[in-house]
Amino acid sequence: MRITQYSDYSMRVLIYLHAKGEKRSTIQEIADAYDISKNHLMKVVNQLTQLGYVHAVRGKQGGITLARAAEQINIGVLLRETEQDLGLVECFRPGNTCTITPACRLTHVLREALDSFLAVLDQYTLADLVQPHHQPALARLLKIDAVQLETA
Amino acid sequence: MRITQYSDYSMRVLIYLHAKGEKRSTIQEIADAYDISKNHLMKVVNQLTQLGYVHAVRGKQGGITLARAAEQINIGVLLRETEQDLGLVECFRPGNTCTITPACRLTHVLREALDSFLAVLDQYTLADLVQPHHQPALARLLKIDAVQLETA
C-alpha cells in the first residue's frame, strides 16, 4: 500500500513553499533541493495551481508561492484531491467484477479503515508538518539561505 | 492508494474457504468462482499455506481448507503479512533519500494515519466478513452448492 509519487511530491512542494515564505520559488530550485525530476514536478505544480494551493507568476521574475496560509491547507483534503485513486481494492472501483460483492462485508471494513486513515490526516495542516523549532533545520536541508528567509 | 492484488486475492481465497467449510477446495474452483487467474492464485495459496492460514493436502483427492477457525483469522494481522509494502511514502522505506526527513513531521502524521487504518482492521476477523444472513447468498455467488455446504 503506497501513496502515489504524485501526492508525495505535492506535499514536498507545499512544504518547500511554506519554508520559503512569501519569496517566490522556481520549479528548478525545488527539483534541486529534493534532487527529484523537474518534469514530474512541473505536472505536480500545474495541478496544485489549478487546485488553488499554489500561486504562479509568469515571466523572468516569476515563480510560485503558496496561495493560502499554511494553516489553511488541510492534509486530509489535500490527499483526497491529489490521490486520484483511493480505490483500495477492486470493489471500491468502477468496473468492479468481484463475484461476491453483494454478500461481502470486506468493502465496508476497508471503507471504515480508509475513513479512519483520512480522519487522522484531517487533523493536520501544512503548518503542523513543520514544527517551529525544526524550521531552521528545514531551511538548511532545502538550501534556503537565512537571508532569503528573513526577507520572506 | 491501493492494496496489492496479492492481498486482495488472499482475502478472497480465505472468504471462499470459509464459505466452503471443512470440505476441500481446489485452486481451479476458486479461480473459476472469482473468474481470476489460476496462476496468480497458486502463488497466493502457496504463501497462505506457508503463513499457516491454509492447510493443503496433496494428491488426487487433495485440496485446501482453512488451517484455523475463521474467528481466529484477524484481518489486520493478515494484511500486515500479505501486504509486504506498507511504505506509504519514500521516507517509510529503506533507501529513503528525501532531503528533509530529519526536519519533517509528515512521516509521523502518515504513520499515525496508517496505524489508525490497521487498528480498524484489527477489530475484524474473517468470520466478520461474512454475516450469517449473507452466507447463502455468498455460497450461491461462489457456486458452492447447498449439498456441499451441508456436508461441510
Q: Where are the domains of chain B?
A: 1-73+127-152, 74-124
Mean of the per-residue pLDDT values for chain A? 88
What is the CB neighbour count within 10 angstroms for residue A46?
13
Per-residue pLDDT tens over the stretch B48-82: 999 999 999 988 888 999 999 999 999 999 999 99
**Residue B99 one-letter amino acid:** T
Query: Which chain B residues contact residue A97 at CB under 8 A?
Result: 35
pTM: 0.86
C-alpha distances (whole Å) from A34 to each of A25, A29, A151, B98 are: 13, 9, 22, 6
Using pLDDT thresholds of 50, 70 and 90, give the confidence band for residue B152. very low
Structure confidence by residue, pLDDT tens digits, A35-80: 899 999 999 999 999 999 999 998 888 899 999 999 999 999 999 9
For A14, A145, B60, B68, the CA distances from A30, given in Å and listed in that order, are 10, 14, 62, 52
Query: Which pLDDT score, from 0 to 100, does residue A77 have?
Result: 96
> What is the reported pLDDT for A151?
42
The per-residue pLDDT for range B87-121, each reduced to its tens digit, is 788 888 888 888 878 778 888 999 999 999 999 99
Q: Which residues of A touch B119 (CB under 8 A)?
A: 116
Given a contact cutoff of 8 angstroms between Cβ atoms, the answer to whether B105 and A139 are in contact is no
Spatial CB neighbours of B22, under 8 Å, sequence gap ≥ 6: B65, B152
Which residue from B4, B120, B141 is facing A102, i.e. has the nearest CB?
A: B141
pLDDT of residue B150 exceeding 80, the answer is: no
**Looking at per-residue confidence, does B36 or B146 come out higher?**
B36
Among A100, A140, A144, most B C-beta atoms within 10 A, so best to mutate, is A100
Q: How far is A18 from chain B (nearest CA, A)?
A: 12
With a cut of 60, say whether residue A136 has pLDDT above it: yes
Rounded Cα distance between B97 and A35, Å, is: 9
Given B90, B113, B142, which is nearest A100 (Cβ)? B142
Give the start-end residues of each E strand in chain A. 54-57, 63-66
Q: State in words which class domain B1-73+127-152 has.
A: mainly alpha
Q: Is the pLDDT of residue A87 over 60?
A: yes
Q: Which residues contact A8 (CB under 8 A, 6 or more apart)?
A: B89, B90
B116 contacts in chain A (CB < 8 Å): 116-117, 119-120
Give pLDDT, residue A150: 43
Instruction: Out of B89, B117, B142, name the one closest to residue A114 (CB).
Output: B117
Give the right CATH number for A1-73+126-152 from 3.30.565.10, 1.10.10.10, 3.30.420.40, 2.90.10.10: 1.10.10.10
Strands A63-66 and A54-57: antiparallel
Residue of higher predicted confidence among B146 and B144: B144
> In this complex, do B117 and A116 lie within 8 Å of one another by their Cβ atoms?
yes
Max intra-chain CA distance, chain B: 62
- With CA atoms as reference, the chain B residue closest to A129 would be B105
For chains A and B, count residue pairs whose Cβ atoms are closer than 8 Å: 138
Q: Who contacts A73 (Cβ-Cβ below 8 Å, separation ≥6)?
A: A14, A53, A66, A125, A126, A127
For residue B16, the chain A residue with the least C-alpha distance is A100
Query: Which residues of chain B are within 8 Å of residue A137 when distances are taken between CB atoms?
Result: 102-103
The pLDDT score that the predictor gives to residue B2 is 82
The yes-or-no verdict on residue B3 having pLDDT over 90 is: no
**b or e along B7-40 (b: 16 or more beta carbons within 10 Å of the residue's beta carbon)?**
bbbbbbbbbbbbbbbeebbebebbbebbebeeee
